[in-house]
Amino acid sequence: MARVTKNSANWRLFGGGGMLLGALLWLIALLVEGAGSGGELTSWLTIIGFLLLGVSGFFLAFGQTGSNGVVGGSVLGKIGFVAFGIGFLMLGLVPLLGVFGVSLPGELLTIGAVLLAIGGVVGAIVVYQKGVARGVARWFFFVPAVLALVWVATTLGWIAIGGTILVTIVAIAYAIAGLLFLLNRR
């Protein structure tokens, strides 16, 4: 079996870079909205950020070529990151289609949040087990995955955390995870 090299580990560039960029756009939208300057700019930044985070899930699962993702050959890991990607794509596509007059049920947002949280946890476990990612990147994805579970719990009303503090921390955690994946040496 051929070893993944820095030239073939495109999950780092496309998966980690996409996650970093998507999370930064989402974070900027949250900060602009928190400063009271919201509006269409924050909506578009959030939509684009969520879509980038969704696409990054697929690159983390499969890499650029379909075989060298951050989860190696693990089918369970690939399913986890695909669920993660679909979850963020749903969070981005529902409001995007709403801009064009297509109304989708609001439950799709909840389903998307649940998919990204559960897929993220499964992905984090497999990333740690497979050891494709090295150093801090190997275990750090647990942080945004667990925070996303808490975010889903607040979305479903199971726990109450007010304001945008939790969501901002989730966005920061995904940005750091993306940066760590991007800078990974393998």
Q: Is 184 a residue whose pLDDT tops 50?
A: yes
pLDDT band at 2, cuts 50/70/90? very low
**% of the chain beyond a pLDDT of 70:** 92
- How many whole angstroms separate alpha carbon 72 and alpha carbon 63? 9
CA 51 to the chain's CA centroid:
9
Q: Residue 48 has what pLDDT? A: 95
- How many whole angstroms separate alpha carbon 33 and alpha carbon 41? 9
State the average pLDDT for the chain.
85
Tokens of 117: 């949280």
Find the helix or strand (DSSP H, E) in which 30 lies: helix 17-34
Q: Is 1 a residue whose pLDDT tops 50?
A: no
Burial class (CB in 10 A: 0-12, 13-18, 19+), 126: buried
Q: Give 66's contacts (C-beta < 8 A, 6+ positions apart).
A: none
Q: 162 versus 165: which is more confidently predicted? A: 165
- pLDDT tens digits for 67-122? 678 888 888 989 999 999 999 999 999 888 888 888 888 788 889 989 999 999 99
Q: 186 versus 15: which is more confidently predicted? A: 15
pLDDT band at 4, cuts 50/70/90? low
**% of the chain beyond a pLDDT of 90:** 44
Looking at the DSSP bridge assignments, the partners of residue 72 are 69
Tokens of 61: 């699962």
Helices 40-62, 17-34: axis angle to 10 degrees equals 160
Q: Is 175 a residue whose pLDDT tops 90?
A: yes
Q: Residue 155 has what pLDDT? A: 80
pLDDT band at 5, cuts 50/70/90? low
- pLDDT tens digits for 116-158? 999 999 999 998 988 788 888 888 989 999 998 998 888 877 8
- How many whole angstroms separate alpha carbon 145 and alpha carbon 142? 5
Q: 30 versus 64: which is more confidently predicted? A: 30
